[in-house]
Structure 1
C-alpha cells in the first residue's frame, strides 16, 4: 500500500499477538470466554486489516479472522490466518465445530447496530453479549513503540501543514480556501484522508480554519471552538467568512498516518491581537509549558485539569476558559491513537494515572463572545520522567 512516496508499515505479527494477549487478560478478568470484533478500528488494531470481516478471539485458543471481502487483500495486510466466508451465517458452524460458543460472549456494544447485535445473538445462540468496548479501549490506551512511530510520522504531516500555513493565510481569503490549500498539503504528504472518532453521531473534519467571531459560536459538537461551517446540515468547521486584519485565526488540524491520528491547534493573526486575546494566548501557552514540566508517568489526570483551571482563574479568565456559557466543555485534553477521542480524557472527575506510552492532546482554549477565540493544542507522549512532544512546530502565536 502506497502513501505518498513511501510504503506504510504493515502491523507486525508480534505486535498483533501482543495486543491479543493483553486483551485476553482483560477478557479473563471480565469472565468473557469469546469476543466478536467487527468495528473497523478495533478490527484493524487486532488484525492489521479493515477488509470486511469478523474477528473472533476465544479466551483459550487462537483467534479466527473471518473475511467476507476482500480476502486476498486481507491476506496481504494481516498476519493472522484468513478464513473465507460468504456471509455471517457461515460463522456459526465453524465456531460451534471448534467448541468456541460456550460461556459468555462479548461484542462492541458502544458502536454496534442493534440489528447486527440481534443477528449475532441468534447466530451464536446466546441470550446476550457483554460489552467489550471498555476492555478494548483500555488495551489501546497505552501505545507500543510501533504505534508511537506511526504517530510521529503523523506529526511530521502536522508540522508541514502548520509551516505551509504561514505562506497560505492572507487577509481577504475565505476560511474555506485556506482549508482547501492546507488539506491538499497534508494529502500530498501522506495524510490518510479522514479522521475516526468513536461513538454515535461523532463527526470531525481534518482541518478547522476559524477566524474572528466565527470562533465564538457554540454548536452540538463537544469541542471548545467549532466554527460556523458552510451548512446547518454540518454546523461546524471552516466557513465562507473572510479573514480580516487583527482577528485571531485558529487552525485546528488532525493529521492521520497509517491509521494513527495527531491533533493540534495553532493561532495566527494578520497584524496584532487586542490585549485580552493576547493575554489569553499567553496563559494557554503557560498551561501547556508548565504542565509539560511537572506531568509524567504517575501523574493523576485530574491534577492536570485542576492546574489548568486554577491558572485560568488566577488570570481572571475562568469565565472564558474552554468555552463560554452553554458552549463550555468539561475537558482540557483527550487521548489519541487510531481514534480522535481515546482515553485518557482529562477532566475534573475522570481520575486516571498517566502511564508510559499513553498519548494525549492538551488544549487550553478561551472563547470571548463578540471578539473571537484563542488557544493552543499540543500532543504529548507520556514517558517515565517527562512528557514528550510529538511535533516540532513552536507554540508561538504566528503574526503575519
Structure 2
C-alpha cells in the first residue's frame, strides 16, 4: 500500500477553517498538540506543537522527529523545538506576536499543561470543540479515503464465514479476522479520542457475551481476552443457533468506517429474527433524516418517542441501565467523532458529515442483534451508505 501524504490544499483549507472559528471566539493563537489533531492540520503526527496564529502561516515545532515531519507535511514552516521555554522565541523569529488569548486543547494531560503555562500566559480557551467541528465536515479527499475504507471493510465482512473453523472461540475468530484486515489494508489500530478509552479493531461476542459489562461506551459488550485486556474476544466457543455480534472499525490511511453484522451457526430463534427486523427498520427511519439542516438531538428524540409508543425501549441500545444514550456517532480520523445522534447535539447536520448509525437490541439470555453502517450526508438527496453491503444475518459454517 503506497504512502499517501495530505495535499497542501487540504491542509491550507483546514487551517483557514480553524482560523475563521478562532476569530469568532476571540482566540488569537492556537496550540494544537493532540497527535490526531496535529495530523489533521499538519499531515504528520509528531512530538511537539503546531501553532496556528489568527492570521498567516502556522508554525510546526517538532521535538521528534523533524526529519519525518519534513518528509510528510507540506507546511512551509517546520522548525526544531526543544521545550516550551523556546516557544515565544520561535514565534518572534517568525514575526509572530505572543498570543494574548491563546487556545489549547483541554483534553491534554495536566502535566503537559503545567509545562506550557510556565511560558505561555493565559487565560486559555478550549479549542477541542472547534477542532471537532472542523474535523466533522469531510472534504472530498477525506470522503474518498473513508469510502475506500468502507469498500475494504465490506470485503472483510464478506470473507468472515470462510475464516470460521469448527468449534472456534470468539478470540480465535477475532484473531483470524484481524490478520485478514491487515492484509486488506487496515492500519492496525482504531483511533478513539475519548479519554481513557481504547479500541483494538472491535469485538467478536457470541450469545450472552454480546451484552457482557464493558467500559466502552457502546450498546454491545465484550468479555475480551482478560480483565486487563477486555478486547477482541474471549475463549468462549461459538455455539450453534446463537447471535454472534461482530462490530469492527476498519481504518485506511488514518480514516475509519464502523460496521456491525450479526452472524450465526445455524438458525436464530424467532424472537431474535423479529428484533433484527425492527433494528433494520430503525436504521432506515434514522437514515431518512440524515440531511443538512436536521439536528441530531431531534432525530434522537423522535426515534425514542416512536420506540416508546411501540413499547420497544427496554434493553434497546444496551442491557438495562447500561443502555447508551445515542443512536449513532461521527466517524473519521477517530471512530468516535462529533456529532453524536443524541440529546444535546443541537447543531444542524451539514453536507460532508460522516456518521455511523447503530441501532441494537439486547435479548436477555440470548444475546444482541442489530446493525451498524457508516453514512455520508450529502448536500442533496439521501445519505450514502459507505459500508455498502446487504444488512442480512450472515451464516457461519456449522
TM-score, scaled to structure 1: 0.94
State the match for 1:121 in structure 2. 117
Q: Aligned runs of 1:39-54 on 2, under 5 Å?
A: 39-54=34-49
Displacement of 1:171: 4.6
Displacement of 1:315: 4.8
Residue of 318, 324, 346 corresponding to 2:313: 318
Secondary structure of 2:123's counterpart equals coil
Gaps of 5+ in 1: none
Q: Does 1:89 align with 2:92?
A: no
State the match for 1:27 in structure 2. 22
Residue of 240, 243, 249 corresponding to 1:254: 249
Q: Aligned in 2, Cα 1:304/1:170: closer, same or farther, shift over 3 Å?
A: farther
1:167-186 CA-to-partner distances (Å, cap 9, x unmatched) read: 12345110001111111111
State the match for 1:350 in structure 2. 345
Residue of 82, 101, 106 corresponding to 2:103: 106
Displacement of 1:208: 0.5
> Are the equivalent residues in 2 in contact too, given 1:171–1:244 (CA < 8 A)?
no
State the match for 2:236 in structure 1. 241
Range moving further from structure 2, 9-18 or 229-238: 229-238
> Are the equivalent residues in 2 in contact too, given 1:251–1:265 (CA < 8 A)?
yes
State the match for 1:295 in structure 2. 290
- For residues 279 and 167 of structure 2, what CA distance do their matches in structure 1 show? 27
Secondary structure of 1:252's counterpart equals strand
Displacement of 1:260: 0.6
Q: Does 1:388 align with 2:384?
A: yes
Q: Does 1:271 align with 2:266?
A: yes
State the match for 1:67 in structure 2. 62
Displacement of 1:294: 4.2
Displacement of 1:307: 4.2
Secondary structure of 1:318's counterpart equals coil
Displacement of 1:306: 3.3
- For residues 312 and 250 of structure 1, what CA distance do their matches in structure 2 show? 22
Secondary structure of 2:119's counterpart equals helix
Displacement of 1:68: 1.7
Displacement of 1:369: 1.9
1:89-143 CA-to-partner distances (Å, cap 9, x unmatched) read: 3323112443421321111112x1112112111122x143111101101111100
Q: Does 1:206 align with 2:212?
A: no
Displacement of 1:196: 1.2
Residue of 132, 142, 145 corresponding to 1:147: 142
> Are the equivalent residues in 1 in contact too, given 2:156–2:184 (CA < 8 A)?
no
Displacement of 1:85: 2.5
State the match for 2:368 in structure 1. 373
Displacement of 1:222: 1.1
Range moving further from structure 2, 243-252 or 316-325: 316-325
Q: Calculate the aligned-residue CA RMSD, in Å.
A: 1.6
Secondary structure of 1:320's counterpart equals coil
Secondary structure of 1:319's counterpart equals coil
State the match for 2:221 in structure 1. 226
- For residues 114 and 251 of structure 2, what CA distance do their matches in structure 1 show? 34
Range moving further from structure 2, 87-96 or 143-152: 87-96
> Are the equivalent residues in 1 in contact too, given 2:295–2:345 (CA < 8 A)?
no
Residue of 179, 187, 197 corresponding to 2:182: 187
TM-score, scaled to structure 2: 0.94
Gaps of 5+ in 2: none
1:366-399 CA-to-partner distances (Å, cap 9, x unmatched) read: 0122211111001100012211000222111113
Secondary structure of 1:23's counterpart equals helix
1:319-372 CA-to-partner distances (Å, cap 9, x unmatched) read: 021012121110010000111111110013422311100000000000122211
Displacement of 1:312: 3.8
Which runs of 4 or more aligned residues in structure 1 lie more than 4 Å from their structure 2 counterparts after TM superposition?
none
Displacement of 1:236: 4.7
Q: Report the count of equivalent residues.
A: 393
Q: Does 1:156 align with 2:164?
A: no
1:165-212 CA-to-partner distances (Å, cap 9, x unmatched) read: 121234511000111111111101111111111132111121300001
> Are the equivalent residues in 2 in contact too, given 1:216–1:370 (CA < 8 A)?
no
Secondary structure of 1:355's counterpart equals coil
> Are the equivalent residues in 2 in contact too, given 1:170–1:243 (CA < 8 A)?
no
